[in-house]
């Protein structure tokens, strides 16, 4: 899997050194001085947020079902393909299986 070119990683030490040299692009003083009223006014002025009303009273938090540990035999070329895609390959295998199950369930209806 090709890495995203715009992603940059820094250690905590490197970030501290960058801040010490004044290389931070964040304006922490401005952020600290921003009040809740300023934030609300900024949201109200945003055309993407115009007339948006969110009713959080109907929101629910649903916990994901725990994964089941499975030991299965898979063809070498199949596992090699998924492993070659990088970290998270087991999650991708699960996504492929889920897509198959959903397609079969739609077809059965």
Q: Could you tell me the residue ranges of all domains in the chain?
A: 76-108
Q: What letter would DSSP give residue 66?
A: P
In tens, the pLDDT along 69-105 reads 999 999 999 999 999 999 999 999 999 999 999 999 9
**Residue 25 — φ and ψ, nearest 5°?**
-90, 0
- Rounded to the nearest angstrom, the gap between the alpha carbon of residue 40 and the centroid of all alpha carbons in its chain is 25
- Rounded to the nearest angstrom, the gap between the alpha carbon of residue 101 and the centroid of all alpha carbons in its chain is 24
With DSSP H G I counted as helix, E B as strand and the rest as coil, what are the percentages for the chain, rounded to 5?
Answer: 55, 0, 45
* Token couple for 9: 């990683």
Confidence of residue 35 (pLDDT cuts 50, 70, 90): very high
Helix 76-84 vs helix 89-108: angle between axes, to the nearest 10 degrees? 110
SS3 83: helix
Q: How many CB atoms lie within 10 A of CB 62?
A: 5
HSE of 22, CA atoms in CB hemisphere, 13 A: 0
- This prediction has a pTM of 0.45
Average pLDDT score over residue span 11-36: 88
């Amino acid at each position: 899997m090709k890495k995203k070119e715009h992603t940059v990683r820094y250690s905590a030490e490197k970030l501290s050194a960058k801040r010490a040299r004044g290389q931070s692009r964040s304006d922490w003083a401005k952020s600290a001085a921003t009040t809740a009223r300023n934030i609300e006014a900024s949201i109200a002025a945003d055309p993407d947020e115009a007339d948006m009303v969110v009713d959080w009273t109907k929101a629910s938090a649903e916990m994901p079902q725990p994964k089941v540990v499975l030991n299965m035999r898979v063809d070498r070329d199949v596992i090699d393909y998924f492993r070659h895609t990088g970290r998270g390959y087991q999650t991708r295998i699960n996504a492929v299986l889920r897509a198959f199950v959903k397609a079969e369930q739609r077809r059965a209806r």
